[in-house]
């Protein structure tokens, strides 16, 4: 990802297409777009935050309109402020392909927390994995049972506070949802709505457990509970999937 513009009202960055946006199990990992969308919308709130305050996401709702490109020219990702107050802000983000077609839309709600200094992860940041490595492989995702996904402690998943990046938690929710219905490339996530309940440390194992609420011939709705290493709920996501989308 490359930052292009940032202000307290708007931000933009670009992201290369590549195998990272594909998945060997589900065909396309649409939720990989949640990482830059979380960043670009959060940057806007951070840019307008007072000294000693930093935004933390309360929730993200992302709708996917089509698969991200696995090759070709870079995508453009924008974030815009919707509303700001003394407690935090609400922002909207969009992803466009190189031809200007909208790929995904996000709305993020953030609140401000007190911090002594601007967050910078203490975790050793590894070298960027080769483009040939999928996000599933880079995160060392394991599936010990259908609908159960486990991510080990991994620096790649950390944000500036040494917690698992909110976009990575959303990715894990899609992995678990796809696993729960045994998707094999013929299902796509059309939306993910995730609420963040408490920080999830990137220094510990994170578990994603899926519960299929509904499965029909064309649509499935899956609830995913994200748990910390000590079994506390870190986030709850609702993933809507469509067959053949």
d(CA 218, CA 87): 41
- Residue 120 pLDDT: 62
Residues 6+ apart with CB under 8 A from 80: 9, 10, 44, 91, 92, 93
pLDDT of residue 14: 93
Q: What size, in residues, is the chain? A: 245
CA end-to-end span of the chain: 27
Please list the pLDDT of the chain residue by residue as tens digits (245 residues). 788 889 999 999 999 887 778 887 777 889 999 999 999 999 999 999 999 999 999 999 999 999 998 788 899 999 999 999 999 999 999 999 999 999 999 999 999 999 888 776 444 454 566 666 788 888 999 999 999 999 999 988 998 888 999 999 999 999 999 999 999 888 999 999 999 999 999 999 999 999 999 999 999 999 999 999 999 999 999 999 999 76
The beta strands (E) that lie in the chain are given as 2-6, 10-15, 22-23, 27-28, 53-64, 75-85, 88-96, 102-114, 142-145, 148-151, 187-196, 206-215, 219-227, 233-243
Q: Look-up: residue for tokens 């959060």? A: 42
- Tell whether the torsion through CA atoms of 45, 48, 50 and 52 is positive or negative: positive
The DSSP 8-state label assigned to residue 77 in this structure reads E
Q: Is the pTM of this model over 0.95?
A: no
Return the pLDDT at 124: 44
pLDDT of 70 reads 78
């Amino acid at each position: 990802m490359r930052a292009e513009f940032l202000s307290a009202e708007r931000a933009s960055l670009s992201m290369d297409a590549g195998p990272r946006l594909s998945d060997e199990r589900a065909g396309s990992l649409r939720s990989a777009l949640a990482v830059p969308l979380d960043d670009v919308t959060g940057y806007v709130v951070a840019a307008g935050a007072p000294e000693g305050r930093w935004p933390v996401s309360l929730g993200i709702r992302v709708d996917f309109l089509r698969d991200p490109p696995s090759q070709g020219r870079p995508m453009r990702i924008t974030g815009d402020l919707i509303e700001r107050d003394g407690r935090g802000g609400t922002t909207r983000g969009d992803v466009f392909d190189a031809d200007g077609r909208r790929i995904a839309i996000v709305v993020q709600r953030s609140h401000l927390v007190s911090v002594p200094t601007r967050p910078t992860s203490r975790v050793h940041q590894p070298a960027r994995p080769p483009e040939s490595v999928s996000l599933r492989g880079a995160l060392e995702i394991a599936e010990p049972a259908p609908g159960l996904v486990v991510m080990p402690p991994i620096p790649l998943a950390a944000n500036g506070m040494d917690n698992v990046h909110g976009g990575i938690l959303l990715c894990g929710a899609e992995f678990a949802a796809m696993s729960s219905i045994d998707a094999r490339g013929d299902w796509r996530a059309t939306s993910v709505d995730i609420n963040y309940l408490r920080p999830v440390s990137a220094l510990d194992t994170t578990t994603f457990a899926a519960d299929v609420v509904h499965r029909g011939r064309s649509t499935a709705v899956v609830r995913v509970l994200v748990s910390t290493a000590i079994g506390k709920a870190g986030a709850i996501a609702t993933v809507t999937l469509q067959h053949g989308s």
